[in-house]
């Protein structure tokens, strides 16, 4: 079953030495999950102000530049893993959380190929 482990970061934080160490831990974990065959993909994301909303309104594509919302927390990156069960997905999410030093969100996918 496939799961996404979503990593969040506050938009009002500056990059610190601890963040750099956390990135190193994430890269190590990424390598370990790739070697075990559990990693489907992982990516860091551009900040919200680099994003845009794309939608269809009255049959016309409308693109709106970011930033969005009044939130201080943003989706900063993700790991997609393919594991046997919830317990293994939760164990990996815990490792990601430990690497970044903060909470992460875990969601299963609707359809797993």
In this structure, is residue 113 part of a structural domain? Answer: no
pLDDT category, 10, cuts 50, 70, 90? confident
Does some domain include residue 85? Answer: yes
How high is the pLDDT of residue 54? 80
What are 66-104's pLDDT values in tens digits? Answer: 666 566 778 889 999 999 999 999 999 999 999 998 889
Query: Is there a domain that residue 24 lies in?
Result: yes
Return the CATH number at 63. 3.30.70.1060
Where b means 16+ CB within 10 Å and e means fewer, 89-105 reads: beebbebbbebbeeebe
For the chain, the domain total comes to: 1
Residue with the bigger pLDDT between 17 and 50: it is: 17
In a domain, residue 65? The reply is yes
- Residue 87 belongs to a domain: yes
Find out whether 98 and 22 touch, Cβ atoms under 8 Å. no
Predicted confidence at residue 67, as pLDDT, reads 61
Whether 16 is in a domain gets the answer yes
Q: Which domain holds residue 70?
A: 2-108
Within a domain: 67: yes
Q: Is the pLDDT of residue 50 over 90?
A: no
pLDDT score recorded for residue 69: 59
Q: Looking at the domain assignment, is residue 49 inside a domain?
A: yes
Percent residues over pLDDT 70 in the chain? 93
């Amino acid at each position: 079953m496939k799961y996404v482990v979503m990593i969040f970061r506050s938009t009002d934080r500056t990059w610190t030495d601890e963040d750099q160490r956390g990135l190193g831990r994430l890269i190590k974990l990424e390598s370990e999950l790739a070697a075990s065959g559990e990693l489907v993909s992982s990516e860091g994301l551009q900040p919200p102000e680099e994003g845009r909303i794309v939608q269809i309104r009255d049959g016309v594509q409308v693109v709106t530049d970011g930033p969005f919302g009044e939130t201080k927390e943003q989706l900063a990156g993700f790991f997609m893993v393919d594991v046997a069960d919830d317990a293994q997905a939760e164990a990996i999410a815990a490792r990601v959380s430990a690497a970044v030093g903060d909470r992460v969100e875990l969601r299963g996918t609707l359809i797993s190929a």
